[in-house]
Structure 1
Amino acid sequence: MKNNEYKKLPSFITTDSVLQVYHIFFDYSLRTLESETLLGILEELTESMYEKSLALYNGVTDQELKDILIKNMAFFAVGLQTLEKPMPTDIPEQAKKLAAEEYQLVRGEQGFAQSAIFPYELDYSQYKPRGHYTRSEDLQRFFKTMMWYGQAPFPLYKQTEDAAGNDKAAGVRNVEQTLQALLITYSLFIENEGISDVTRWENIYDPTVFYVGNTDDLNIYH
């Protein structure tokens, strides 16, 4: 290009170069946002949601709700471990066992396997960091935790099979996972030290939507 300038020849610049610069800027700004801002909020959110799930567990007497809250505590304890935080010392033994088993599956990154917490299989190969998430340990922690919260679904219906083993179009109402989701949503709106976790959730979700678009799944407002 410099020789062209001296020789007074035009330089042909393709749109590819413009798109490449845009991609570099997009990727840099996204990973900076994730590692320097969103990761810290995610750590606060995970710790707070575990604590509130434990408080609810200690405060209810209904055994069905206590069993569901065991799974919710395990759910957030897995999030703490993907953030490379220690297993909470006050976690009930049953929840600790579920969280430890689930985290081993996440660490294994070995494809489809039966979840220890949820009544279905998850694709654990999805937890292998890729793209810019391989650049640092902080980005890997962020990736795995966001993948955990985003991949594990709380479906309204269980998929059932007919006599031939084919999936039926209409499933059975999934009461347990629905109650799990309701209790998590309820906990999000409870203030902890003067801060509502729904604010933390929005501070993660809104910038993510700006970069990559809305989620296809139901969220806490649905």
Structure 2
Amino acid sequence: MRSAYSIIIILIVSIVLSGCVDQVPEELQEPVQPENTVLKVESINLSGTTTEKMDFAKHYSLDPLDIDLKVPKYDLPLQTDQVSNYDLFSREILLSGDALRLLEKNGFVVTDNPFDRKEEDIVQPYKTLADSKIPIFVTTDSLLHLYHIQFDETLRQIEEREFYDLVWELSEQLLNDSMESYKNSDGDLKEASRRNVAYFSVGLSLLKPEPEQVCQSENEWDCTDAYFKKEDLVHYSFEVPSYVRDDVEAELKLIEAHSGFSDSPVFIYKEDYSQYVPRGHYTRSERLKNYFRAFMWYGRMSMLLKGSDEIPADALISIEDARIQTTGACLIASEFANDYELMGKWDQIYSVTAFYVGLSDDLGPYEY
């Protein structure tokens, strides 16, 4: 957390730059000639966006900015005897000799939190400074950190309240479609359908709540949103088809062990199973933990176009496996093309995630 403390405390030592430099009396001061600097940003309006993959972007707009920057510059190195409140500042915040030299040289210095080095709340130092009547300069890193917190929290709520159910519904319907295709096909088409059945069975298994993820307390107030509800065990349930059970169970064991690279039973090529450990806000509830693992599975595992008889020199899988995987991808894309409601659910998830983190580099339903 060391870096977090440094980010917090940059606001403390920057106070000397927030209008605290003495204005030398007119008769002793060279006239300041501020540069005619302008901050200008053109307006942005994406309401006319028609690309399906960027559908959510049409809600974004930015008003134009045209601001004259009139604050005069100050010279470096700083002269502490010209800082109007330096005596007050130096009594409240003790700087080492090295820190003081950096402050004079650069106009700012980053130090440990002088009030509480273990403090993790980014807002608390502002309160402490205000109580000590020390002027505060809010730095851009603080605003960026608060933006990141808001970004993370809104994404968490969307994933937990909306996306979990959407991913379950998509997976369940595509599993049923793949089972139907498996039953009515033969040859490569049948094998591609079988692998799709395994693919969606793994995703649903990762989403599905386990009994130990349900709150065990009899007290209703103990059963927070961090746990699944008892009725979720029934609502989110399915049966893995017998003809893919061995592959699915083997895949789930590797994901649960998350011990590193190993050959995927479903996709043939190697996968890094250490990536399936929930982190960040995904540790805050059992639902988010399951969502994270399922989303990692769907996001990391690709149906490859290229195969070769020279493995691993030229490709990760054989020509035959590449043909089957590409057939499987086309089967999934055809289900989206034939079902407007199904495609709409996928668009809901993809357009929002693309708005938050950018477009995917992988091939998706629109490409196929």
TM-score class, shorter: 0.7 to 0.9
How far off is 1:8 after superposition?
7.4
1:142-157 correspondence runs (5 A):
142-157=291-306
User: Is contact 2:189–2:324 with CA below 8 Å preserved after alignment?
Assistant: no
How far off is 1:112 after superposition?
0.5
Larger proportion of helix: 1
1:59 aligned partner: 184
Uncovered stretches (5+) of structure 1, i.e. residues with no partner: none
Aligned match for 2:206, one of 72, 82, 87: 82
For the pair shown, which has the larger CA radius of gyration, 1 or 2? 2
Aligned residues: 213
Letter in 2 for 1:178: T
For residues 127 and 324 of structure 2, what CA distance do their matches in structure 1 show? 67
Letter in 2 for 1:47: E
Cα RMSD, aligned residues only: 2.5
How far off is 1:94 after superposition?
2.2
How far off is 1:205 after superposition?
0.5
Deviations 1:88-120 (A, max 9, x none): 16x2x2212211111111111111101111121
Letter in 2 for 1:25: Q
1:38 aligned partner: 163
1:178 aligned partner: 326
Letter in 2 for 1:23: H
2:105 aligned partner: none
TM-score (norm 2): 0.53
For residues 138 and 7 of structure 1, what CA distance do their matches in structure 2 show? 44
Deviations 1:142-173 (A, max 9, x none): 111111011111111126648xxx7248x965
1:105 aligns with 2:250: no
User: Is contact 2:172–2:204 with CA below 8 Å preserved after alignment?
Assistant: yes
For residues 281 and 132 of structure 2, what CA distance do their matches in structure 1 show? 41
Structure scoring higher RCO (CA < 8 A, sep ≥ 6) equals: 1
Uncovered stretches (5+) of structure 2, i.e. residues with no partner: 1-125, 209-235
Letter in 1 for 2:313: D
Deviations 1:39-75 (A, max 9, x none): 1111111111101111111222x23211221111011
For residues 134 and 2 of structure 1, what CA distance do their matches in structure 2 show? 29
Deviations 1:20-43 (A, max 9, x none): 111111111010010011111111
User: Is contact 1:190–1:196 with CA below 8 Å preserved after alignment?
Assistant: no
TM-score (norm 1): 0.86
